[in-house]
Chains A and B, each alone.
Chain A
Amino acid sequence: MKKIKNKLNINRRNFLTGTASLAGLAATASMVPITIANANHTEGKKGLPGFISWKNRDALIVHSDKGIETHRSAIGESLITPNRNVYIRNNMPTMTDGQIGDRNNWKVSIQGVKNPKTFTLAQLKKLGHTTIATILQCSGNGRGFFEHKVRGSQWKTGAAACIFWTGVPVKAVVDACGGINKDAVFMTSAGVDHEPTGLDPKKAMVERSVPKKVYKDAMLAWEMNGVPLPNSHGGPLRMVTPGYFGINNVKHLGKVNFSKAESSVKYMKKSYRISPIGKKGSQYPSCWEMPVKSWITRPTDETGTVKAGKVQIVGVAMGGMKKVRSVKVSIDGGKSWKKAKFVGPDLGKYAWRQFAFEANLSSGTYNIASLASNGSDKQPELRMENRRGYAHNGWKDHSVQITVV
């Protein structure tokens, strides 16, 4: 079959000068000069995109150049996920060094406070300093287990990571602005990564509102696991909302507004809503608080057969908004459960705990599952069916099948 090439420049020009067809214009009212939009690029069909060429290819599953998952067995067995293995989920193209400029001069405006101000990153560093460990987890982590056709990356367990963030507490920033306005209901954070694309901010801006109370534990982070926050993870400055799904941890942060109303952009009103299959709308809950969850990270079906005898079953467990209290492990697909022990340090309620369970396994096939509890809630057996495949924490789908020889 003959390969058809086009003369794209003419078409690009049509869009920019407004001579494209009506349908095209309706679809792309704010389309972009491609020379700006293609700032990062990809190489090879399943290679890593250029903007994250520094990552560990062997640890990652490439769904697309915008959706890259960590293998179940590669999230790290020392609690913290190494940066090279951390998943990538981008709604907008990662900003380049050129677009970011001098990192210390990066600006964020604080609004909805008594004295609205704009701070540079250098100024933020004088206001306060803290380090916290939190779980960064995409709302759609586990989508790959849903049986109805769900659009989007088919994440299984690897759109999640446990990360040390360093930055300034939001509380210190609002104190420097005289405190939050009394009528504020939400903390609304906006990224500026849509700006280089030229797309309509209402459709493209990642602006997320969370309940105002979140500010008490939130921070503006400029460092990730001991290094300056990589551009691909939202550098030089990112909002960190502990306990809340990844989308609320806004990248390339340009504005924090303590607002009376939720943001009206598409990423707040329409996207990231947990609705029944076949239904959608802003009346459904937004992807905010993460639920209790756990999964096995070793042995897994990725790591081949297991030798009979003593086996260490290892995994991670998170409590969501509360500290995780216990984890049970089953080696018979959930028929019986035994308590696992937590290992390693407790990095606080927003980090996950690593757990280990020792089993003596003879040859055969085993279905290994884990079940976490935070004292109030425990993982359900089944997923909560929903249109977009969000917030999956059912233990059954997350179990692993292993063969012992």
Chain B
Amino acid sequence: MQSIVEFKNIYKSYPGVIANDDVSFNIKEQSIHAILGENGAGKSTLVKILYGHVKPDSGEILINSDLAIINSPSIAKNLGINMVFQHFSLFESLTVAENLILGMNENISLSKLKDKSKTICDKYGFNLNLNSPISSLSVGQRQSVEIVRSLLNNPKILIMDEPTSVLTPDEISKLFKIIKNLVKDGLTVIFISHKLEEIINLSDYVTIMRNGKVVSTISTQNEDPETLGYKMLGYKVSKAKQVSDIDFSMDIFNIKNLSTQSKDPFTINLNTIDLNLKKGQIFGIAGVAGNGQKELMEILLNENDYEFTGDIIFKGLNINNLSTFQRKSLSISYVTEERLGHSAVPEMSLSENIFLSMNHKSEFKKGDFINFEKINSYASDVIKNFNVDTPSYNVKAGKLSGGNLQKFIIGREIMSNPELLILSQPTWGIDAGSEAFIKNTIVELSQKGVSIIIISHDLDELLEVCHLISVLYEGSLSNPLNVEDINISKLGKYMGGLFD
């Protein structure tokens, strides 16, 4: 088989980071070629260069052995390169049909489009309703729209950026079948992922990237997750160990009959959620993104006066009407999903960010002034105890890498001695080293008697650290499953909404 894409010495730097450093490798025609690497290894930048979304500083791309200068996505599409984005490039308020038309290179009538998309849907097993607006679709359905839209252009190369990160296990195996059929019919698929097993199951070849450089390009045939993981990280990661012989008897936190009735079609309504959390327990809330996680977190935080019915009870006290800071004063701590802009203000220093979150504590104030001495010493303690890699507490939060900032934020909350810690996506998009550190910290914390709720899309993470896992599906929360007698197929069914 001949090479369809050749990357030659691609170099791209952003201020402070080299995203791609002398990247060269070939992709064979009609193969599934995975690009593996940690978050920040430069995978996304590389495929965005291939798709004309990002301009490389130097280097060349050859398509079918011809030099291709891809300055914009429209040039890439004319060369037969299409891309399915990690964060979809769909138009929420438009219908499926309108989204499909927008993705087509040629002008066609609505009836022709219907025929064409029906052929593709029937052939590969997609199920689309052309008249529904995108906002009414689930994440999995949205991805189908993206894929069908790409296929309508008869592409030669299809790039998929982390396509499985938003799917349930069932949907993933369906997607893999589709990808394999597409390759049989002549397509070349470039598949980006940081999940090792997926890559071994699906792809023919894999290029491993670390810190912007290519480590190696190999066939996946003789690899297993462990060897591949070692090549990706360059070191071995120890797993967090959960001790199971703790006695959970004391009620700490209860949610009873929590429901919302918002008329906004872009939000998910929560449906009679019940949750019971004991002292020292780690409770995981799994589920595909967009099933009500954001809404649940907003209610738990009470930032925006979200209207709801039901009760939230912390240590026997109803906290429905308490503000965020009042809840914090009761020793509930929060780590929100968005690190920059929500958990921390990027333009402010680490110590200032401490004050913003701890403003309810009088020890950080001198009358109406900020007690910088106290705050700075608190900040240095966080930096020391949580291995935050930063020269000082005067550094702006936005300058820290994702992993370091997350360690700082989690450290900030833990140092205030919470009895209940609520985390949303605690290890999303950070390096494996920080991820392992954070997981270990969470487990240690629970052994000290702190109750923890983790909302996460990452099943592996939840299975590693939690005692109980419930699944959130379209605003309903499943009964909790004990992590010791859980099986993936049951969890997969739950994530598809099959629970009562």
Chain B associates with chain A: no
